[in-house]
Amino acid sequence: MKKALLVGLTFIACLAFWACSQQSKQETKQPSAPSQPSGSGSVVEKDPDLKDIVSADAKIEKLAGGFTFTEGPVWIKEGGGFLLFSDIPNNAIMKWTPEGKVSTFRKPSGYTGPPAPAGSFIGSNGLTLDKEGRLIICEHGDHRVTRLEKDGKLTVLADRFQGKRLNSPNDAVYKSDGSLYFTDPPYGLIDEKAKELAFQGIYRISPKGKLQLLNKELTRPNGLAFSPDEKILYVSNSDPDKKIWMAYNVSADGNLTQGRLFFDVTQEKEEGLPDGMKVDTQGNLYCTGPGGVWIFSSQGKHLGTIKPPEVPANCHWGESDAKTLFMTARTGLYRIRLNIPGIRP
């Protein structure tokens, strides 16, 4: 009797222990938070407002690589959509499709002269679209801004100012009235000593085709973008000794007035200079610079930086909702999904 009672108590104790252990296992197997998706690079938050722009699970994706120096991305809506971008030393405009295919869209893209030294920045740089969807090309080596017509022919929009050859048009943006603004630093000159202009200008081509010099004060004017209301033109200066972004008021006749410092990164030690930039529909700026794409509020507050593995030189909004930011970064092409749509041609 005592033996039977002992066996029974032992069985009950074992049963209780088994039940407790199962409950403990169930508690430790509660669903965990989804893991962060794998990606390339990182996003550095400088201000809590960045969360309104970049979700916590946003990732930087590498789409293609093996280029020489990528620049000037622009999204083309035709045929389901695709991205064009420049590979400058390769003197080519490349095409990337959502299926992941990369092909050569146009070569030569910015230089048609005799053979240039290897590595020369002679090809196309900035690309944009006019109201009719025609491709506008900043041609480094041929010192001009051109328009690619629907039949494949090129129309020269600007190649000289007051009879002197332009340096190497770098980046361009249209205003809604049909005027084209572009910058002209010397980066595409094979021999900078041969430059014909004594300055680096910011220009405007009027809707009637007249070329107008707006500003010649910056040492290396580069990327440029309008605020959503087009009352401000932002311009980057890619001088290693003066790494800044400027803001200018745009007058009714298209001139630039009241130039002022928007942000200064001259003391930043990371690789990269103020370069290409874009603006979203809420007026936030996305400026390629030291270490990545610097995101600013319209008031000049640094919200954070998107840092792909390679330093980006330019960026552009793509896909149907314009919420994907494509980044051309040295030898690679990258993208990241954001929460606010961007302004694009």
Query: Residue 31, SS3?
Result: coil
Q: Using 50, 70 and 90 to split pLDDT, how confident is the model at 39?
A: low
Query: Do the Cβ atoms of 16 and 8 come closer than 8 Å?
Result: no
Task: Note the pLDDT tens digit of each residue in 123-175.
Answer: 999 999 999 999 999 999 999 999 999 999 999 999 999 999 999 999 999 99
Rg over alpha carbons for the chain, rounded to the nearest Å, is 27
- Which residue ranges make up each domain of the chain? 39-337
DSSP annotation of 88 reads T
The pLDDT of residue 40:
82
Q: What is the pLDDT of residues 263-277, one digit of tens each?
A: 999 999 999 999 999
Q: How far is CA 180 from CA 155, 213, 250, 251, 338, in A?
A: 14, 12, 13, 15, 28
For the cut 50, the answer to whether the pLDDT of residue 84 exceeds it is: yes
Single out the residue of 324, 304, 320 nearest to residue 46, CA to CA.
304
**265-312 pLDDT tens trace:** 999 999 999 999 999 999 999 999 999 999 999 999 999 999 999 999
Q: Tell me which of 2.120.10.30, 3.40.630.30, 3.30.70.20, 3.50.7.10 is the CATH number of domain 39-337.
A: 2.120.10.30
- Tokens representing 314 are 């330019």
Give the count of alpha carbons within 13 A of 20, CB side only. Answer: 6
d(CA 20, CA 117): 77
Whether 100 has a pLDDT exceeding 90, the answer reads yes
Per-residue pLDDT tens over the stretch 180-214:
999 999 999 999 888 999 999 999 999 999 999 99
Burial 104-115 (b: 16+ CB within 10 A, else e): ebbebbbbeeee
- Using the predicted structure, report yes or no on whether residue 33 has a pLDDT greater than 50: no
| pLDDT above 90 as % of the chain | 86
pLDDT at 74 over 90: yes
